[in-house]
Amino acid sequence: MMMKRGALLMLSCGLIVMLTGCATLISGETQMVTIHSTPPGAFVRVGHQTGNTPVSFNIPKGEDYPIEISQGPDRRLLPLRRKLDPITLLNLIPPLWPGFIVDAVTGSMTKYEPDVISIDFRTGLATQQTQLTSMP
């Protein structure tokens, strides 16, 4: 009886590890994206979230979101693009391959790049830069 419980516990733990995506565990299902503007105070909309610059949004991964930024009558629409999160490749390690499915379903196999966007309404130029952020 005790052997069956121990075997069942080990099997359950093994399944949990195998069915959990690496990127979902390490990077999470959302990502912080920060938007700055010159001059500050521009209105920003990303999906259903709004704010005024400088502002940071915690955005669910897995979809392409346009960033709408407006300062008075000047309105810009910038794409927020996704790239493969290299942590997803840890799922290539046997027996973690089912993690690809989990990462795909949660959107965690991608990340937004850049995660810091700056726009200068005085010059009309938008610059995008990737900034390293600490893991949660």
Is-cis flag, bond preceding 66, omega within 30? no
pLDDT in tens, 1-38: 566 776 666 655 555 554 456 666 666 778 899 999 99
Would you say residue 135 lies in a domain?
no
Q: Who wins on pLDDT, 95 or 75?
A: 75
Would you say residue 15 lies in a domain?
yes
pTM above 0.85? no
When mean pLDDT is compared across 50-59, 81-90, 99-108, 109-118, the lowest value belongs to 99-108
- State both tokens at 79: 């794409």
Domain that holds residue 103: 2-129
- State both tokens at 96: 């973690």
Could you tell me what percent of the chain has a pLDDT over 70?
Answer: 69
Domain count, the chain: 1
When mean pLDDT is compared across 19-23, 60-64, 72-76, 119-123, the lowest value belongs to 19-23
Which sign, positive or negative, has the C-alpha torsion 19, 20, 22, 28? positive
Give me the count of residues in the chain: 136
Would you say residue 136 lies in a domain?
no
Would you say residue 22 lies in a domain?
yes
Give mean pLDDT, residues 69-89: 84
Would you say residue 117 lies in a domain?
yes
